[in-house]
Structure 1
Amino acid sequence: MGNPTDYVSGRCSQIFLIYKPSFAGSGVFLALFAVLIPITLALGIKYKSSVFATAVVTGLTLEVMGYIGRLLLHNTPTDRSGFILFLIGTIVGPTFICGSIFLIPPQIFTIYGEEFRSWRPVWYSFVLYVLTAVSLVLELAGVLVSTIQDGIGKVDIGSHVLVAGLVIQLVALVIFIGHAILFAIAVQTRHHMLDIKFASIYNSRSFKAFLFAFTFAVLLLVLRTAYRIAAIAEGFNSSIAQSETLLLILDGLMVLLATLILLAFFPGRILRDSGSQTLPRRSPRTPLQPIRVAPYDLPSTRSSPTYNRTSIKSSTPGYSLRKLAPPLLRNMVDSDALW
């Protein structure tokens, strides 16, 4: 284990990582994350999902930077710059990937119907995106304070700020999951109100598989975030933080699997038809009303006891049943066709 005097001797990286990182493990994750970058860009261009692809690519680039830092620590464990790269890349990178998943539900809401939302769109965007932005700021500040500043007190302050940023990220994920559960309950209990316009999408196997895979990816990111909170809260020199196996499995592998799932079920490919449909949706609060027939009745038929063709002609000059029939037929509407 490290000695507290290492904090003031310029060897912060050694007190944080008291083992030499595996060259093979770091190299494999670096290569895998790097390969996914051009794939994500190609999918984003093909399916016109530039914002989602940019967020994922940013996260992948930071992950690559983080594992480059681990390779530097393999050669020189006391390299402070290598440790800073490792910490920024592996902590801030997944935050961008978490932010990218928040972009997907609005498209799902469009398919099922905005009336099933538990939140208004403005509140959804404000809460989740603001929490993500605050999380990013706190994570960057925590990493810089705990690695650049020397002294036990400064490192403790930085680690506390870093934990706060990770906790906010976890809170955003929990809120996101809660919102998704409420939406799913609303769809299940009021499925008879679904608009058939998108029935070909939400009844397809690919869409149902996408929902399952998307849920699994979110849970992987929750597990990864909970692990990093526990590792840093226990201290950089704790057994959890110093276990390379736990780091590679509960951090690197979880983020890698979540990203692979998002790319295999790329939202722009599965949900591409939802953006092309521009027909107005029917709001359940303002149902369509059947068109009323003109406020006059048809003339009495010949079978009526009061029927008198002479009286009709005399009371209404120029009156003709043939002239009356077409307007009436034009005003008659089949009520079944409205629904």
Structure 2
Amino acid sequence: MVSTDRCYAVSPECPVSATTLGYYPNLGANAFFLASFTLCAIVTVAIGVWKRTWAFGIVVGAGFFLETCGYIGRVLMHSNPWSDPGFKMDLVCIILAPTLICAGIYLTLKHVARTVGPNFSRIKPRLYTWIFIPFDVFCLCLQAIGGGVDAAASDTTPVNEKTLKAGNDIILAGIVLQVVNLVVFGLLSLDFFVAAKKNFHNASPELQNSSAARIWYSKRFRIFCLAVTGAYAGILIRCIYRIAEMAGGWGNATMRNEVLFYVLEGAMVLYPAFLLSIFSPGLFFPEMGDAAASVEAQNDNNNNNNEKQENSDEGGVVGLQEQ
């Protein structure tokens, strides 16, 4: 068997079938995804700056920009499937991008919970980003470690199959944990919205006339929540697909199925990108902006101060009683 270690272009000794993907990536399809993600990145960042939803605009816009870079890599591989820069851009950027998009989704629930009613949430709103984003990063680190182990195994002659399998298993563990992270977040989100719906339905006149109730019942807010839910579903499907993609190791049949890639990787990230761009929080949930966030933070501080004061008062009463 002829080694492909020195393959840099397609030739009789280095056929396209010997590459990891096993095909020439379709130019038209990848150019479409490239242009679409570029547009989404520009729109998301522009609205984020315009409406001062800075964190969402920068984080999610960066995710779309990474998707753009990933498809640039695939365009490069159309002319040369052995392109090492193209393969690395495709692999790294398309793996990293959905994590940033997820971070934007985690951020929206934090602000929704703060605005509509922190008491409806099982955990404090600020913890959504403190728990789920670092765990996503941990999952990515596992995948990176697995990739490093695979690279080290592939550099040996002959290839160390045992080490290669260990690397694949580490990558797969990172992907599975990423899916678990998304599922737990989804369950907490569902729990929050069920609690909020129940409380607003049976609310006192005072609560029904509050600013939180006006936001909850507004059509704009409902549309925004549906858009984020749709985006979440797409990213979740994409992550589940990645489990199947890596389950058989590098160059398996699922990884080499180009149509499946465009449907379950490309489209399952692109339609969430359209949803998050068109129904941006800057337009449909402006309470997520800087000014509103500062008010929410002040309210949080006031609530914490009130709790401390109540505890202090209770402590004083207890002390007097003891005296």
Q: Give the TM-score range, shorter chain.
A: 0.7 to 0.9
CA contact (8 A) 1:92 1:140 kept: no
| Distance of 1:171 and 1:10 partners within structure 2 | 38
Instruction: Find the aligned partners of 1:211 and 1:239 in 2 and give their Cα distance.
Output: 37
Please tell me the residue identity of whatever aligns with 1:23.
Answer: L
Pair 1:210-2:224 in alignment = yes
Once the two structures are superposed, what CA deviation does each residue of 1:192-216 show, in whole Å capped at 9, x if it has no partner?
Answer: 3446123322111111111112111
Choose 167-176 or 12-21, whichever is displaced more. 12-21
- The Cα shift of 1:124 comes to 3.0
1:111–1:202 Cα contact (<8 Å) kept: no
Give the 5 Å matches for 1:26-41: 26-41=30-45
**3-state secondary structure, aligned to 1:238:** coil
Residues 66 and 97 in structure 2, CA contact (< 8 A), matched pair in contact too: yes
Structure showing the higher helix proportion among its residues: 2
Instruction: Give, in whole Å, the separation in 1 of the partners of 2:90 and 2:180.
Output: 24
1:266 deviation in Å?
A: 0.8
CA RMSD of aligned residues (A): 2.8
Match of 1:161, as an amino acid? I
SS in 2 for 1:190: helix
Give the 3 Å change call, closer, same or farther, for CA 6–166 of structure 1 in structure 2.
Answer: farther
Q: Which moved more, 1:128-137 or 1:115-124?
A: 115-124
The yes-or-no answer on 1:169 pairing with 2:173 is no
1:308-338 deviation line (CA, Å, top 9, x unaligned): xxxxxxxxxxxxxxxxxxxxxxxxxxxxxxx
More relative contact order, 1 or 2 (CA 8 Å, 6+ apart): 2
CA contact (8 A) 1:221 1:254 kept: yes
Question: Structure 2: how far apart are the matches of 1:111 and 1:212?
Answer: 17
1:271 aligns with 2:271: no
Q: Distance in 2 between matches of 1:213 and 1:36?
A: 15
- Could you tell me which residue of structure 2 aligns to residue 114 of structure 1? 118
1:89 and 2:93 correspond = yes
Matches within 5 A, 1:12-23: 14-23=18-27
* Unaligned 5+ runs, structure 1: 287-339
Corresponding residue number in structure 2 for 1:320: none
- CA–CA distance in 2 between the matches of 1:36 and 1:213? 15
Distance 1:36 1:198 in 2: 30
Partner of 2:64: 60
Letter of the aligned partner of 2:193 in structure 1?
A
Letter in 1 for 2:129: S
State the match for 2:211 in structure 1. Answer: 197
The counterpart of 1:156, out of the listed 140, 159, 165, is 165
Q: TM-score, normalised by structure 2?
A: 0.78
Superposed CA deviations along residues 20-70 of structure 1, whole A, max 9, x for unmatched, are 111111111111111222211111101111111111122122111211111
Paired position in structure 1 for 2:52: 48
* Corresponding residue for residue 191 of structure 2: 182
Identity of aligned residues (%): 29
Indicate the SS of the match to 2:270. helix
How big is each residue's C-alpha offset from its partner over 1:274-323, in whole Å with a ceiling of 9 and x where there is no partner?
6536695998x99xxxxxxxxxxxxxxxxxxxxxxxxxxxxxxxxxxxxx
Alignment match of 2:129 (pick from 93, 101, 125): 125
Equivalent position amino acid for 1:89 in 2: C
Contact residue 91 and residue 139 of structure 1 kept, 8 A: no
> In the alignment, which of 248, 252, 268 is matched to residue 254 of structure 1?
268
Could you say what secondary structure the match of 2:107 adopts? coil
